[in-house]
Amino acid sequence: MSAQREMKEKNPWHTPVTIIITVIGVIAIVALVTVAVLQNRPFPQKYKYGIVLDAGSSHTALYIYEWPAEKDNNTGRVEQTHSCKILVENALAFCPGISSYASAPSKAGQSLTECMQEAVQRVPEKRRGETPLYLGATAGMRLLNMENSAASDSVFQSVKKALQMFPFSYQGARILSGQEEGAFGWVTVNYLDDRLKQGLETTGALDLGGASTQISFVSDNYNGSESPSNSVTFRLYGNDYNLYTHSFLCYGKDQALRMTLAHQSQAGPGTVLDPCFHPGYAEIKNYSVLYDSPCVSDRKPQGAPATFNHTGNGNFLECQKTIKNIFNFTDCKYSRCSFNGVFQPLLQGPFGAFSAYYFVMNFLNLTDTSIPLDDVKEKLKRYCATPWNQIRQRHPNIKLKYLAEYCFSGTYILTLLTEGYNFTSESYSDIKFIEKIKGSDAGWTLGYMLNLTNMIPAEAPDSPPLPHAGYVSIVTVIAVLIFILFILSLRPLWPSCSKQPQIV
């Protein structure tokens, strides 16, 4: 026992000085790690918002985007948090876009009120004043502007007046060019897929609207020189992109249907027996409504009666033949063309097809592009041949206008993709029909906002070399090592082994 007491007395660990040093050391490490954790703790998230109104030819929709306030310059963080479709009270109007208010422009602004009020509710009060609000109009307004620019101006006046009444930072309303529409759709798809920041192979974008359709993709063998008007260059996150893009005005699915019908009605007044509509379909339609668009107005037959009888006979192959008439495949002054003499480089990479591509193929259960193209055509052939009354019975809840047109729309989509853009049986499987990516709608609006708010930097942003958790771990390990070194430095004071008493 006395030997043990002697050892305890000689052991420096038991001296008051070493105990105090140890306690101070432990407190210092705890304090150091706590400060590191607190100082670098992520802030509670604060968000910023942006609002874009998509004034399309067939509808207007409002999108709210949100991103963490301190990450303006980062990627993959902007998300769609809300969308609102502008519904039109007029039962006769079929979800028309703002261009349909040409004869009553003041109503164009009014029509936006409900969705704008929703937006006010969705954006926190503190953020409203700094939230940018944009309205972009596409092919419907492009057509109205061509047809009647005064009416188009009045619609914009009405829309601007209405939007400025809301507590957001109004940034303007304007018509997007077809090039912008195509390019921003491509930016949206690739941004949401995180392809831009990582410099991955990009996805092409196929957008089918009511009045125009866009194709945008990067092709290695295209440098933009052959047809400069189809070229858009970007530098995003330190990568250069040379994008091919084209927008075909009048080749959205509503205008394409008009053109197809107009072509068929040239055969003579009275009845149109349409292979793109189901057998048993019969409607009296108005010539003046059919020809009321710059896409077809020059073809209006002279002295035609007021109405014609539109009847269906549901024949996919005949429908495809009829649709082909609205494309010109003969004139091409470039090395290669899609149609109507428009240059198109070799198709490359995967493609995302959205808007009406998705609505239609989703309804027809044909979004699976691993199904061989011939089988897709066979299914559509059977669908088109199904009598109209059976189709109506099977889908009592689908709007009749959509329902009547799915055979035409599906056939048009396949014709546009294969005959128009030159997708083959093999490359058809490169297409993915998509509605949303990670919760945000595919479309031009997000790309438009990212561009106008400079949210995609040209160069890759500097990121901290270590994530927060890594930083705290390293600080902890270093602090512990310093402490151990300190203890080891006290070694001369340790009892030496030779002096250890033998306990017998």
* Least separation in angstroms between CB 86 and ligand ITT: 11
Contacts of Ca ion in 123-142 (CB under 5 A): none
Residue 255 beta carbon to ligand ITT: minimum distance, rounded to whole angstroms: 8
- HEC string of 136-152 equals EECHHHHHHHHHCHHHH
**Of 66, 180, 181, 405, which is the active-site residue?**
181
Query: What is the C-alpha separation between 490 and 475, in angstroms, rounded?
Result: 23
Please state, as a whole number, how many other Cβ atoms lie within 10 Å of the Cβ of residue 440. Answer: 19
Radius of gyration of the chain (CA): 33
Helix 253-265 and helix 316-324: axis angle, to 10°? 90
> Is 18 annotated as a binding-site member?
no
| Residue 175 beta carbon to Ca ion: minimum distance, rounded to whole angstroms | 12
Nearer to ligand ITT, 123 or 413 (CB): 413
Binding mask 96-125 for Ca ion (x = CB under 5 A): ------------------------------
- Minimum CB separation of residue 139 from ligand ITT in Å reads 4
Is residue 56 a contact point for Ca ion (CB under 5 A)?
yes
Whole-number minimum distance, CB 256 to ligand ITT, in Å? 9
Distance of closest approach, residue 137 Cβ to ligand ITT, in angstroms: 8
DSSP state for residue 41 in the 8-state scheme: P
Q: Which is nearer to ligand ITT, 119 or 139 (CB)?
A: 139
Output 260 or 355, the one with its CB closest to ligand ITT.
Answer: 355
H helices of 124-250, where? 125-128, 139-147, 149-164, 178-192
Strands 351-355 and 431-433: parallel
* Torsion sign, CA atoms 71, 74, 76, 81: positive
Q: Is 354 helix (H, G, I), strand (E, B) or coil?
A: strand
Q: Which is nearer to Ca ion, 209 or 275 (CB)?
A: 209
Min dist CB 214 to Ca ion, Å, is 9
129 is in an annotated binding site: no
Of 36 and 62, nearer to ligand ITT (C-beta) is 62
Contacts of residue 48, Cβ cutoff 8 Å, sequence gap at least 6: 66, 67, 68, 69, 72, 127, 130, 131
For residue 260, the partner it binds in ligand ITT, Ca ion, none, with Cβ less than 5 to 8 A by kind, is: none
| 410 interacts with Ca ion by CB under 5 A | no
213 is in an annotated binding site: yes
- Is 211 flagged in the annotation as binding? yes
Q: Which helix (H) or strand (E) holds 53?
A: strand 47-55
Beta-carbon contacts of residue 405 (< 8 Å; ≥ 6 apart): 253, 257
Among 325, 311, 207, 206, residue whose Cα is nearest residue 259: 325
Tokens of 432: 């993915």
- Rule CB under 5 A: say whether 447 interacts with Ca ion: no
CB nearer to ligand ITT: give 297 or 424. Answer: 297
- Look at residue 139 and give the partner it binds from ligand ITT, Ca ion, none, a contact being a CB closer than 5 to 8 Å depending on partner kind: ligand ITT
How far apart are CB 377 and ligand ITT at their closest, in Å?
A: 20
Please, which residue, 226 or 435, has the CB nearer to ligand ITT? 435
Among Ca ion, ligand ITT, none, the one that 414 touches (CB under a kind-dependent 5 to 8 A) is none
Tell me how far apart the alpha carbons of residues 241 and 197 are, in angstroms, rounded to a whole number. Answer: 12
Q: Which does 173 bind (CB under 5 to 8 A by kind): Ca ion, ligand ITT, none?
A: none
Chain contacts with ligand ITT (rule: CB under 6 A) = 56-59, 97, 138-140, 209-212, 252-254, 355-356, 359-360, 363, 402
User: For the chain, give me the number of helices (H) and strands (E)?
Assistant: 17, 16
Residues 253, 404 contacting (CB under 8 angstroms):
no
Binding at 450: pick from Ca ion, ligand ITT, none (beta carbon under 5-8 Å per type)? none
- Binding partner of 195, given ligand ITT, Ca ion, none, CB within 5-8 angstroms per partner class: none
User: Where does this chain touch Ca ion (CB under 5 A) — which range of 8-16, 123-131, 208-216, 266-274?
Assistant: 208-216
Q: Residue type at 23?
A: V
CB-neighbour burial class of residue 87 (10 A; exposed 0-12, middle 13-18, buried 19+): exposed
Q: Are 214 and 207 in contact (CB under 8 A)?
A: yes
60 or 315: CB nearest Ca ion: 60
Burial-class residue 285 by CB neighbours within 10 Å (0-12, 13-18, 19+): middle
**Contact status: 209 vs Ca ion (CB under 5 A):** yes
- Contacts with 281 (C-beta within 8 Å, 6 or more apart), sequence order: 274, 310, 311, 312, 314, 388, 404
Binding site annotation covers 344? Answer: no
- The yes-or-no answer on residue 180 being catalytic is no
- As annotated, the binding site for ATP includes 210-214
- Residues involved in catalysis: 181
- As annotated, the binding site includes 210-214
Binding footprint of Ca ion on the chain (CB under 5 A): 56, 209
